[in-house]
Amino acid sequence: MIKLPERFVENMKALPGAEPDAYFRSLEGPVRRGIRFNPEKADEKDRAEVFGLLDIVSPRQVPWCNDGYYIPEDKRPALLWHYAAGLYYLQEPSAMAPASFLPVKEGDRVLDLCAAPGGKTTQLAMKASLLLSNDISASRARGIVKNAELFGLSNTYVTAGSPEKLADHFEAYFDAILVDAPCSGEGMFKKDSALVSAWEKKGPEEYHSLQVPILNSAYEMLKEGGYIMYSTCTFSPVENEGTVEAFLSTHPDMELAQIPGRDELGFAKGLNGLDKACRLYPHFIEGEGHFMALMKKKGEKQPAGEIRTEFFFSGDRYYRIKTDDTVRRSSLRFLRTGLLIGERDAKKGFVPSQALALALKKSEASGSELTVDYTEKDSFSAPILHLDREDPRILRYLKGETIEIDAGLSGRLLLAVDCHAIGWGRAAGGRLKNDYPKGYIWH
């Protein structure tokens, strides 16, 4: 049993409608785990195969996420090649809710403001036309870059800046913003007991003082008629309703919006009269603790400029990007700019990127050869080496090893398993020298 701080226990007992005794009993149960499939990659056949390999006979869908499913605590989906090919993301079920309920449609420009490690980014990118994913920490933002690459995202920029700095570049620009704010993490005590000691050192009041300025910056970047989803993984009314109240009191053109299906899903309503907000209690739903408040900026959205697909060059690197005039004018330093196609090497010629391999659709990786444009006039081609899904060479490749191949193959090859690209290699003399990036290698 987790040893909880005495002040936290008293706070939980004082929460209206929280049924604290049931909550404390829930801490003795298993941690809820989830898997969220990539709808751009994983079709019904792929999903069935994953469930079969995990010995899950009757997969149960997460009610608030079409692509989310529950995974028993003893399963290890990260050990399947499907994970390396970006077919799914491992995510706690409640954490799938904020991006699911943020209204986003095709053509929208979306901001994930406090995005690390990038799970919600991979979810939002499926709905947005252009997505900016940010975290104030550069080291954490690099984790977003890797997850964006694994998921094969081509419409996503990654930055590591303060919310105030971003607001200087994107005034009234975004149609929808997710603020999954830094918080005291009370809802994740069962999942990560280290958060308990962190809570004792830095409690709800300190996080509240961080959250309100973040929301203020988000407001500056939101269009009229746009939405902000504010979410935390804590139970604290100071950080939840208190932060929302403080924000709304200084922004009269913002109003709470209804999150559909709250009662049917088992979400509790917000406190202090904020009935439209949602509290996700782990003893009411199958998920850990979360809070959501959806807010809309009054007014009508004005038509925005066109989002264009362009080739972009930076030094020897070649990108394909989704962009518009605002992004083009920005002087921000991007850690990721759309899709890195590859780079020019003085000795090797054009070298395709791992990001490109993972961005390929099944239809693109199903033939005998791949041809990709990297400028408006230039392209490169490479044969595709198809491996059977049970081929032991898949694991060896993912571990960074050289593998044996047909002696007749030579030059750069794309490796694919069941038409899912997993990476590149260079063939010579019946062997494939591994080009799998160091940061991806299985250990």
Which has the closest alpha carbon to 48: 36, 58, 39, 38? 58
177 in any annotated domain: yes
Name the active-site residue from 65, 233, 278, 419.
233
pLDDT (0 to 100) of residue 96 = 98
Q: What is the pLDDT along the chain (443 residues), one digit of tens a residue?
A: 688 999 999 999 999 999 999 999 999 999 999 999 999 999 999 999 999 999 999 999 999 999 999 999 999 999 999 999 999 999 999 999 999 999 999 999 999 999 999 999 999 999 999 999 999 999 999 999 999 999 999 999 999 999 999 999 999 999 999 999 999 999 999 988 888 988 998 889 999 999 999 999 999 999 999 999 999 999 999 999 999 999 999 999 999 999 999 999 999 999 999 999 999 999 999 999 999 999 999 999 888 889 999 999 998 999 999 999 999 999 999 999 999 999 999 888 899 999 999 999 999 999 999 999 999 999 999 999 999 999 999 999 999 999 999 999 999 999 999 999 999 999 999 999 999 999 999 98
Give the gyration radius of the chain's Cα atoms.
23
The pLDDT score that the predictor gives to residue 1 is 66
DSSP 79: G
Place of tokens 């032991």: 392
Distances (CA, A) of 352 to 128, 340, 379, 397: 26, 9, 11, 17
| Domain identity same for 124 and 189 | yes
Pick from 238, 270, 297: which residue ends a domain? 297
Instruction: Give the end-to-end CA distance of the chain in Å, rounded to a whole number.
Output: 32
- Do residues 327 and 275 both lie within one domain? no
CATH for 182: 3.40.50.150
Residue 417 has which token pair? Answer: 């398993």
Q: Is 65 a catalytic residue?
A: no
Is residue 46, in this structure, part of any structural domain at all? no
Query: Are 286 and 330 found together in one domain?
Result: no
One domain, residues 288 and 391: no
Last residue of a domain, one of 267, 297, 327: 297
**Other Cβ atoms closer than 10 A to 64:** 25
Residue 77 in domain: no
- Pair 268, 129 in one domain: yes
Q: Which amino acid is at 29?
A: G
Domain that holds residue 322: 308-440
Helix (H) or strand (E) run with residue 382 in it:
strand 379-387
Structure tokens at 131: 């997505």
Report if residue 219 sits inside a domain. yes
Is there a single domain that holds both residue 111 and residue 216? yes
The reply to whether 280 and 338 lie within a common domain is no
Distance separating alpha carbons of residues 83 and 313, to the nearest angstrom: 30
Q: Regarding beta strands 88-90 and 33-37, do their DSSP bridges make them parallel or antiparallel, or are they unpaired?
A: antiparallel
Checking DSSP bridges between strand 411-417 and strand 88-90, what pairing results, if any?
unpaired
- Considering its fold, how many domains does the chain have in total? 2
Indicate if 109 and 241 belong to the same structural domain.
Answer: yes
DSSP tag of 438:
G
CB 203 within 8 A of CB 255: no
Residues 31, 280: Cα–Cα separation, whole Å: 15
Tell me the residue length of the chain.
Answer: 443
Check if the beta carbon of residue 138 is closer than 8 Å to that of residue 296.
no
Name the token pair of 114: 């406090």
The answer to whether residues 338 and 320 touch, using CB atoms and an 8 Å cutoff, is yes
Tokens of 213: 């300025």
Count of CA atoms in the C-beta half-sphere (13 A) of 353: 23
Alpha-helix runs per DSSP H in 161-193: 163-169
Residues 336 and 429 placed together within one structural domain of the fold: yes
Domain shared by 183 and 272, yes or no: yes
Contact in structure between 111 and 174 (CB atoms under 8 Å)? yes
List the CATH number of the domain containing 422.
3.10.450.720
Cα 144 to Cα 136: distance, rounded to the nearest angstrom: 12
Q: Which residues contact 94 (CB under 8 A, 6 or more apart)?
A: 32, 187, 233, 280, 282, 285, 287, 288, 289, 290
pLDDT at residue 187, as a whole number: 95
Is residue 352 in some structural domain? Answer: yes
Q: Please give the distance of CA 55 from its chain centroid, rounded to a whole number.
A: 26
Antiparallel, parallel or unpaired: β 109-112 and 174-180: parallel
What values do phi and psi take at 331, rounded to 5?
-100, 15
Q: E strands, 273-368, where?
A: 278-280, 290-297, 308-314, 317-323, 334-337, 339-345, 349-352
**Do residues 142 and 133 touch, judged by C-beta distance below 8 A?**
no
